[in-house]
Each structure stands twice: as structure tokens, then as C-alpha cells.
Amino acid sequence: MAEDPTSAEDRLIARHFQPIATHPGALGLSDDAAFIKPPAGCDLVLQTDAIVGGVHFFPDDAPRTIAGKALRVNLSDLAAKGAKPLGFLLSLALPKDLGDGWLSDFAKGLRDDAEKFACPLFGGDTTLTPGPAMISVAMFGSVPEGTMVRRAGARPGDLVFVSGSIGDAALGLLLRRDNPEWKLDTAQRQHLLTRYLLPQPRNVLAEAVRTHASASIDVSDGLVGDLIKLCRVSQVAADINAVQVPQSDAALAAIAHDAALRETALTGGDDYEILCTVPPDKAASFRAAAQTAHVPVTEIGTISAGEGVRFRGAQGQVLTFVRGSFSHF
Amino acid sequence: MAEDPTSAEDRLIARHFQPIATHPGALGLSDDAAFIKPPAGCDLVLQTDAIVGGVHFFPDDAPRTIAGKALRVNLSDLAAKGAKPLGFLLSLALPKDLGDGWLSDFAKGLRDDAEKFACPLFGGDTTLTPGPAMISVAMFGSVPEGTMVRRAGARPGDLVFVSGSIGDAALGLLLRRDNPEWKLDTAQRQHLLTRYLLPQPRNVLAEAVRTHASASIDVSDGLVGDLIKLCRVSQVAADINAVQVPQSDAALAAIAHDAALRETALTGGDDYEILCTVPPDKAASFRAAAQTAHVPVTEIGTISAGEGVRFRGAQGQVLTFVRGSFSHF
């Protein structure tokens, strides 16, 4: 009689991850692959992003928030593309010494977000690694055929909108890493730290983006850099009023203490807000749809013909940024 | 003027990976996501597998074969499910010191196989890691609606088939790692080493599997273990004639030198052959279809009611295996 080679780890994974695999095509994770029939008349939207311990999260972060971050950085991309989540594949590489409790907590975090965002697990792969934990997610969503909102598509005259507030996560990372003396109160500190720790992707805004935006990108590498990417692919220029860029009380307090942090806020990453361009005749409707979705959106500038991205300060002067010194523009 | 934050690495990736992103929905990798419309009347088949340096490949393996392995372990799963490849997402975590030449060679290997298996790149994510290189692939394929071949579905009376030969890769790994004295000739050594280094997935057999097999799995964790998984999900038992398990001349030569290697061959992994069950009335047609596809297939046993997997030796004795000592059976 051949013995069952199922390892304790396999069983643990089946126990923790099966409850997240709620779609019938996931076959309860009992197979090598899953199958799905995309909604009729829809395109499938495909996207992948990975997070690595010591690079995208601190190894001592709570496993639940690590799981949440792994899913949410991907959910944020779907939101910016106007897509509705369908599900995800999970590829886990874990150090040997993490232990059962870690995996159990990680799976709980994953399950909470899979439910919250209606995005079930379709399958996965787990392996040990001599390196740091790495969590790679491949996520798929759907849009009515031909309606995925791209980086390309911004037109001269379009208005530039951004959701939520910008810079909190980049400041939160500095706060976490260097513990600087910014004289923030407890609530302000907590706000910045939390915004770094666990993204709040704007999936409730996806439908409004899809039906109004000419181009869109999620702000993951910093507002400045991501706007440059959008403008380059759209072959347009942008003029941004830096003072109109929405910032939280906490971020403003930090910047009031140290003016150099304004650049950190504008060029830092991990915002997971949506940056999109909207034709002027759709702007009022977009604002209304965002309000219905309970997501603040702010007009920060305009698209024009040409190339390049200009951020202007309160006196109209063009701001220069130290970060990202190489230029194609 | 805000400067372009595009890093040298981003540009390198665009240069090397764009040529692999041949599907229009991949948008030349210029966006955060890709879109695809699955073929009419088809289900999408989803699958992910990752490989990690020092675990699934040797860090000094040629980058082209590492790329090939990353794709092929996923292609093998699609083949066993009867699915036709549509494309893949790539998530790369790379050590800082790999260098441009490595990435360039890696991309070449990826491109060769993407073309060979008609499986273009749809998007990806690249990050640095302080650990070993990790390459995670999420692959999607298609089958006519409802026809994905599962692990579940084997019925008493079905015949058990396996493609190609079993055990070469596991022996090749031992040969590579321990350099044992098996008195093999150069061609035999090379055969085993190559079978470990670069899988030869059986995608040309996928259609024959889809139209004939009642259940199927690719042999990646070893013939014995993978058959146990198939039988468990199908809720059946299997009786296998170990002497009928197809083995290469090289594997037979190694086993002739050291009889203990028979177990290595049967329980070792990385074969990337297809193990499937076929109803008796479809067996002749399956053999013919496999012959047309130029893939050898061998009948190695039968499915029966009950549970458990029995491998029998030349005298009909039930073989026991050391590996995998915990049992649900």
C-alpha cells in the first residue's frame, strides 16, 4: 500500500484556504487548476503584483495585514481600470520558521478581504524559500467588452482628478522606519502609519471611473511618477496645482514641521488612490458618482497638448523634484 | 518640470519583455492590467506555480532554462487539464546582483517558450528581493465549456495511462546534486540531467486527454503521490503494475546499478508527464490520438472501487515506499 504523501503543511493550507475558495470553479482547491466562465459580454482584466518581506512590508507586520496588503495592491489596479473583481490566484513562498499560527492568521486576513471585496481564491501554490516571505497575487476582474480604462486616452482639456488623499503612506513609512520628531498627535501618527500598513483600495469608485474617465492609473509609485506614466502613454502634458493635491490633516501637520516632506508626499508611493482624467462635460457627473460611492475626489489640474508634467506651487512657480532625476521629457 | 522616474530596470524590462507581449490585450505592457476575451463557448482555466532559486532550480542554472522551467511547470498543468494555453502573467523577484545579461538571457528563454507553446505574456511585476530569485507564473488557458479534465472523475474499470517516461528528473536531480557512481554512459547522464533541468510538458497531448480521459493530473510531485491525489478526489482505488511503468534506458541503467533508485523514480518529482484514467471503450482511440500527437503513452494499471493505491512488483507483491509515511488510507 502506497502511503499518503500529504504533508502537514498541505493539510494546513487546505484547511485555511479552502473556505476562501467559494467559487464552484475553484473545485474547493482539490485540483491543479480552476475554471471560470467570464460574465457574458465582458472582457477579463488581468493583473499581477507581488509583495516581498523587507521590501514591501516589515517582516514583523501582522500576518493579517500582510495578506490584506497583498490583495489590496492588486484590487487597487482593478479599481483604476474600472473593473469588478472576479477572483485571484495566490503564490506563496514562505520561510520555514513562520509557524502554523502565522499561516492561520494570514489566511484569516485573506479571507476577510476576499469576502469584503467579493474576490474569492481560485487556486494557489505554496513553496518554502530560504529568503523572505513573498506573496504574489494574480487577480482577474471583468469589464463590459472594450471598456477597460487605460493609461492611454487622456485628451487635451480633460480635468485631472485624484481620489482620497496623497502622501500619507509615504510619510507613514518614514514614521515607521525612522521615527522622526514631527510633533504629531497620536491620531495623526496612527493615521499615517495605518495608511502605509494597509491600503484602502477604491474599488467602490471603479464603476464611476469606468463610465467617466478617459484614462486612469492607480497611485502606487507616487503621484508625480504615475501621472508622468499616464501622460506619456496618452501622449499629452499635464499642469497640476500642487496646492490642490488633497492631503490629510496628518500629512499637512508633518509638512508644516518639515517642508521637504511635501516632495515625499507628492513623489512617494503606496497611496493606492485613483488618478484619472475626465472630459469637462463629464466632470459634474463624475463628482456626483464619486459622492454616491462615498469617495472624495479632487480636481488637481488639466491635460494639455504636448508632453511633460508640471506641478506648480502657490505662486505659480514650477516645482522641481529631486527624486527621479533621469528624464525622457 | 517633473522628471521621469523610469528606472534603468523598468526600461530593460520593457525592452526585453515587450516582444513577448504579442496579444493586443496586453497593450504592449504599457498599462497596469491587460484584458482578454476568452474564446466563445469556452471556460477559462486558471493555474499558478512558482519556482524559487535553491529550491526548484540551481542558482547557477542558465537563465534561459530557468525561464523555460517557470513556464513549463505551468504549461504541464494546463496540458493535464486538457486546456489550450492563452497566456500568462509573470511575477519576478530578483536579487540585486543578477545583472543585465542575466535578465536579457532570461527574457530570451521566456520568449522562445512563449512562441513555442503559443502562450504570450499579458503582464507582470518585477521587484528586488534580498532572497533568492523567485519566478511566479499565473497561466490561463481555455477549454470548451464544462470540459476541463479534473482529478475527480476516475471510475472503477478505467485504465490508468501515463505519458513518456517516469523517474528521469528525480534521478537527474540526484546526479546533479550528489554526482553518484552509477556507471552511466555520457548519453544516459545527459538524458537524466536534461530531464531535470528543463521539463518537456505534454501540451500536444492536451486535446487527446480532454476528449478521452475521465480524470487527469500532471506528474509533478512523483507518480505515486500524484496517483494517490487523483484517486482520493475521485474516491476510487488503483492497482498499478510497477514493472509496466515506462522508464528510460538511462533510468533503468541507474536502477540496475542501485535497486533502491526504483523507489526514487516512482516517488520522485518533476516528471511533468500526464497521468490519466481512460474508460476501456476509449482506450484504443486514446492510444491512436497519442500516436498522432507523437507522445508515447503506456497503460500501467486499472482503477477499482474502494480506496488506496497499490503498486505491485514483478511477482505480484505489493511494494511499500519509505517516502510519505503519514497515511489517510
Q: Do domains A39-144 and A159-312 have the same CATH topology?
A: no
Of A3, A32, A318, the CB nearest to B326: A3
Type and span of the H or E element at A311: strand A308-312
Q: pLDDT tens across B163-187, in order?
A: 999 999 999 999 999 999 999 999 9
Closest residue in B to A312 (Cα) is B1
Q: Is the pLDDT of residue B315 over 80?
A: yes
Averaged pLDDT for residues A60-86: 97
B160 touches B302 (CB < 8 A):
yes
Q: pLDDT tens across B24-35, in order?
A: 999 999 999 999
Taking an 8 Å cut-off on Cβ atoms, the answer to whether B4 and A222 are in contact is no
Q: B135 vs B3, which has greater pLDDT?
A: B135
Q: Is the pLDDT of residue A1 over 80?
A: no
pLDDT at A5: 45
A323/B contact by beta carbon, under 8 A: yes
In three state form, how does the secondary structure of B165-215 look?
CCCHHHHHHHHHHHCCCCCCCHHHHHHHHHHHHCCCCCHHHHHHHHHHCCE
Q: Which of residues 24-63 of B touch A (CB under 8 A)?
A: 25, 27, 30-38, 43-52, 54-56
Q: Is the pLDDT of residue A32 over 80?
A: yes
Calpha distance A302→A157 (Å, rounded) = 6
Closest residue in B to A49 (Cα) is B125
Taking an 8 Å cut-off on Cβ atoms, the answer to whether A134 and B132 are in contact is no
Percent of chain A with pLDDT over 90: 86
Point out the least confidently predicted range of A163-167, B11-15, B63-67, B232-236. Answer: B11-15
Taking an 8 Å cut-off on Cβ atoms, the answer to whether A91 and B93 are in contact is no
Averaged pLDDT for residues A295-300: 98
Averaged pLDDT for residues A246-261: 97
From B116's Cα to the closest Cα of chain A, the distance in A is 22
pLDDT at B98: 86
pLDDT at B7: 62
Residue from A43, A49, A136, A143 whose CB has the most chain B CBs within 10 Å, to mutate: A136
Q: How confident is the model at residue B87 (pLDDT cuts 50, 70, 90)?
A: very high
pLDDT at B329: 29
Averaged pLDDT for residues A19-48: 92
* Helix axes B63-80 and B100-116, enclosed angle (nearest 10): 30
- The neighbouring-strand residues paired with A139 are A47, A88
A247 touches A261 (CB < 8 A):
no
Using alpha carbons, select from A225, A81, A206 the residue that is nearest to residue A152: A81
pLDDT at B299: 98
* CA A87 distance to own-chain centroid: 16
From B187's Cα to the closest Cα of chain A, the distance in A is 33
Point out the least confidently predicted range of A11-20, A106-115, A144-153, A158-167. Answer: A11-20
B150/A contact by beta carbon, under 8 A: yes
Q: Which of residues 272-301 of A touch B (CB under 8 A)?
A: none
Taking an 8 Å cut-off on Cβ atoms, the answer to whether A89 and B122 are in contact is no
Q: What are phi and psi of A117, to 5 degrees?
A: -100, 10
Q: How confident is the model at residue B200 (pLDDT cuts 50, 70, 90)?
A: very high
Residue A185, C-alpha cell as written in the block:
498627535
Residue identified by cell 465549456 is B145
In chain B, which residues have their Cβ closer than 8 Å to the Cβ of A143? 35
A305 touches A238 (CB < 8 A):
no
SS3 content of chain B, % helix, strand, coil (to 5): 40, 25, 35
B130 touches A55 (CB < 8 A):
yes
B79 touches B201 (CB < 8 A):
yes
From A189's Cα to the closest Cα of chain B, the distance in A is 28
Q: Which of residues 101-130 of A touch B (CB under 8 A)?
A: 122-125, 127-130
What 3-state DSSP class applies to A195? helix
Calpha distance B45→B265 (Å, rounded) = 30
Averaged pLDDT for residues A166-186: 95
pLDDT at B148: 98
Of A35, A91, A224, the CB nearest to B50: A91
Q: Which residues contact B229 (CB under 8 A, 6 or more apart)?
A: B151, B217, B221
Domain boundaries, chain B: 39-144, 159-312
> What is the per-residue DSSP string for A29-59?
G-SS-EEE-PPTTEEEEEEEEEEEBTTTB-T
In chain A, which residues have their Cβ closer than 8 Å to the Cβ of B56? 127
Q: Where are the beta strands (DSSP E) in B111-156?
A: 121-128, 134-144
Averaged pLDDT for residues B257-261: 95
Taking an 8 Å cut-off on Cβ atoms, the answer to whether B36 and A44 are in contact is yes
Calpha distance B67→B110 (Å, rounded) = 5
Q: Is the pLDDT of residue A8 over 80?
A: no
Averaged pLDDT for residues A63-68: 97
Calpha distance A255→A257 (Å, rounded) = 5
Using alpha carbons, select from B45, B57, B37 the residue that is nearest to residue B203: B45
In chain A, which residues have their Cβ closer than 8 Å to the Cβ of B226? none
Give the CATH superfamily of B39-144. PurM-like, N-terminal domain (3.30.1330.10)
Class of residue B59 by CB neighbours under 10 A (exposed 0-12, middle 13-18, buried 19+): exposed
What is the rounded average pLDDT for all residues in chain B? 93
Q: Which of residues 228-267 of A touch B (CB under 8 A)?
A: 228, 232-233, 267
Residue B255, C-alpha cell as written in the block:
536502477
Q: A13 vs B328, which has greater pLDDT?
A: A13
Q: Is the pLDDT of residue A169 over 50?
A: yes
What pTM, to 2 d.p., does this model score? 0.94
Percent of chain B with pLDDT over 90: 86
A159-312 CATH pick, 3.90.650.10, 3.20.20.140, 3.30.9.10, 3.40.950.10: 3.90.650.10
What is the rounded average pLDDT for all residues in chain A? 93
pLDDT at A312: 95
B89/A contact by beta carbon, under 8 A: yes
In chain A, which residues have their Cβ closer than 8 Å to the Cβ of B83? 33
Per-residue buried b or exposed e for A152-190, using 16+ beta carbons within 10 Å of the residue's own CB:
bbbeeebbbbbbbbbbbbbbbbbbeeeeeebebeeebbe
Using alpha carbons, select from A224, A171, A225, A162 the residue that is nearest to residue A196: A171
In three state form, how does the secondary structure of A228-285 look?
HHHHHHHCCEEEEEHHHCCCCHHHHHHHHHCCCHHHHHHHCCCCCEEEEEECHHHHHH
The DSSP 8-state label assigned to residue A317 in this structure reads P
Of B30, B136, B148, the CB nearest to A33: B148
In chain A, which residues have their Cβ closer than 8 Å to the Cβ of B309? 1-2
Closest residue in A to B218 (Cα) is A32
pLDDT at A327: 31
B97/A contact by beta carbon, under 8 A: no
Type and span of the H or E element at B283: helix B283-292
Cα angle, residue A271 at apex, residues A268 and A277 outer, rounded to 5°: 100
Point out the least confidently predicted range of A151-165, A182-196, A315-329. Answer: A315-329
The ipTM value here is: 0.93
pLDDT at A136: 97
Point out the least confidently predicted range of A146-160, A290-304, B7-21, B85-99. Answer: B7-21
Q: Is the pLDDT of residue A302 over 80?
A: yes
Q: Is the pLDDT of residue B205 over 90?
A: yes
In chain A, which residues have their Cβ closer than 8 Å to the Cβ of B89? 46-48, 138
Taking an 8 Å cut-off on Cβ atoms, the answer to whether B145 and A46 are in contact is no
Of A43, A55, A324, the CB nearest to B128: A55
In chain A, which residues have their Cβ closer than 8 Å to the Cβ of B213? none
Q: How confident is the model at residue A97 (pLDDT cuts 50, 70, 90)?
A: confident
Q: How confident is the model at residue B213 (pLDDT cuts 50, 70, 90)?
A: very high
Per-residue buried b or exposed e for B9-48, using 16+ beta carbons within 10 Å of the residue's own CB:
eeeebeebbebbbbbebbbebebbbbbbebeeebbbbbbb
